[in-house]
A and B are shown apart, each in its own frame.
Chain A
Amino acid sequence: MNPNVIELTSITKMYDMGGAEEVHALQGVNLTIAKNEYVAIMGPSGSGKSTLMNIIGCLDTPTAGQYLFNGLNVSDMNDNELAKIRNKEIGFVFQTFNLLPRSDALHNVELPLIYGGLPAAERKRRAKETLAHVQLGDRAHHKPNELSGGQRQRVAIARALVTRPSIILADEPTGNLDSKTGEEIMMLFEDLHRQGNTIILVTHEADIAEHAHRAIRLRDGNIESDGPVVKRKTFAAATA
């Protein structure tokens, strides 16, 4: 059994900007992420981190290179096959939460299971279970606008978790939250990691990235550095 969830080999992504102009968002990225890793992908805007996240999340396909997801070659899958991978194997958490505004928390969490074709009773049971897991069991029938930012992000995390995906892909998950709430969300991610989930965190904030155990820095479409996270806080605490 391959322990690597994600294997990227010389992944290139080019955008045609009209005319002869082309933007090389990724220029031959090689990256391997194993099961139960907690990885932060960092880099300034324009570094290609969004593009990399979209490719890892199967929202987009690379121009060249090979992407193996759980040993499956994703790089030449069609739209529907990608949709299936996203549905079953990837849990997205977005900066702006991206909940459906007219649906209550329970329905939002249930949605991936609807697309997965689960029977209604099973869906409800699992959605409730997952909401309880993020301490929102009592908010199941609240609409997103009746919830606080932190609660919304918890609903979004529950939605990402409910299909028991291979990876959780979080794009600036604390970007729209105050620092205290952000900290709570990061604690939740840490719990999830301890429970065996593979987490990929995309951020440009160094102190958020510190929660991860491995940091990948991108610059101009290339990986600039890849290594374990140096915990500044613990270092500072130790020297104080």
Chain B
Amino acid sequence: MYFWTEVKEGLIISFRAIRANKMRSVLTTLGIVIGIVSVTLMSTAIEGVNRAFDKSAAAFGTDVLYVGKYPWIANEDWATFRNRRNFEVYYASAVERQVTLADAVAPVVGTVKRVNLGNNSLENAFVTGTTHQFINAAGVTISDGRFFTSEESSAGRPVAVIGATVAETLFPREDPVGKDIRVGGFPYMVVGVVEKQGGMFGQFTADTRVWIPLFSFQNHFGSRRDVTIQVRVADLKKMEDAKIELEGAMRKIRRLPPGKPNDFNINQQEILTETFGGISLVIASIGLFITGLSLFVGGIGIMNIMFVSVTERTKEIGIRKAIGAKRRTILLQFLIESAALCLIGGLAGLVIAFPLSLIVDQFLPTAMPLSVVAIAILISLAVGVISGFLPAYRAAKMDPVEALRYE
């Protein structure tokens, strides 16, 4: 109970002291302000990168396996898979027949082409040739219209499904469904638009993609291209079984004798998230360490000014001790003062960092998360208590006789 009386008294004293030395308090607090701004912005940016990655990665689908001749992330020498044979379109139907745990299988080929409608154009759109199965074997959702049908797919009709950015660029004011566009110079009719994804990797996002029937793709852009087979696993819990089954089927399709190593790779979203998770952890640690240094410098500033404050108020400390303040009371008083300084700095830092985080938001899908706000407040309090401790301890253990004699 006395403790709270002491805390309340400490708060009154610290705000009087801070008010009495406005300029000094503002300048000292500036260090904490800058520290908190940089730490919060850094965490906001890291949070943003992670969110962007999650969004991008979601486009791959957690239950979709991507079979191709190259691994997404190579740990071995490029030479070991450089000469692998191309994948063929017929693999898809073979996999569909042989892999019982697969729900949908789609062959996918891709290239980069210009997509335009009159003068509205997107220079580097990713054009994907696939079958009607694709919509069942990928993590994309149609927001407008439909995906192409099996008839359109097998007949190689000139129909296209477009990503959100493509739709916005080519049709800034109208509904694209039913309109004609040009893909690599050839006319295609838009039948559907894919839901906007956002995300950070230009080439991985579905927003700048155009999907057309595989046969149309081969007619217009050539058939001697490497194919990726997308396999959606029916039951996420049987993912590992499905991978083993798929591996066996692929070895058969590629006619690999026993003992020969695989000349293909089964990729999945997990590989990306794991690798990225590792990288992002390293970036986050380094980033927070560097920005944390500025907070450390701010803390040293607080410690310095608290030493000054304790020395200046030696007489006051003596008076308080003479009339019965215990060591703990004096310690608490100066800890509260330094924590209050830092808390003011932290709050000011947050007020400054918030609009800045909205600027970051222009590049990364993020807003300052509430957790960062809470952590920033806790960190500034902690900096205050830690950097205030030595000065407060010095004040607490002052000899009352000498403190009273101080002029």
Contact = CB atoms under 8 A, between A and B. Distances in A.
Given A98-B315, A114-B9, A87 B1 contact: no
B322 interface: yes
Contacts of B328: 80
Contacts of A86: 321-324
Interface string A98-110: 1110110000000
A110 to B, nearest CB: 10
B319 interface: yes
A117 B2 contact: yes
Interface in B1-52: 1-2, 5-6, 9, 16-17, 20
Contacts of B2: 117
Contacts of B17: 102
Contacts of B316: 100
Interface residues of B, number: 26
How many residues of A sit at the interface, in one of the four size bands? 20 to 34
B319 A60 contact: no
Nearest to B399: A60
Which of B1, B319, B399, B404 lies at the interface centre, i.e. has the most chain A CB atoms within 10 A of its CB? B319
A117 B1 contact: yes
B97 interface: no
Interface in A22-74: 54, 57, 59-60
B8 to A, nearest CB: 9
Nearest to A83: B326
Interface string B296-339: 00000000000000000001101111111111110000000000
Interface string B199-214: 0000000000000000
Contacts of B401: 54, 59-60
A102 B400 CA distance: 20
B329 A115 contact: yes
A83 B328 CA distance: 11
Given A54-B401, A60-B401, A117-B1, A87 B323 contact: yes
Contacts of B16: 102-103
A115 B404 contact: no
Interface string A112-148: 1011110010000000000000000000000000000
A189 interface: no
Contacts of A188: none
A86 B322 CA distance: 6
A92 B322 contact: yes
A116 B315 CA distance: 21
Given A59-B404, A60-B401, A98-B315, A87 B324 contact: yes
Given A83-B321, A84-B324, A88-B324, 10 more contacts: A59-B321, A59-B404, A83-B326, A87-B324, A98-B315, A98-B404, A100-B320, A115-B329, A117-B2, A117-B5
Q: Nearest 9 A-B pairs (CB), nearest first? A: A87-B324, A117-B2, A115-B324, A112-B323, A83-B326, A98-B319, A59-B400, A102-B16, A86-B324
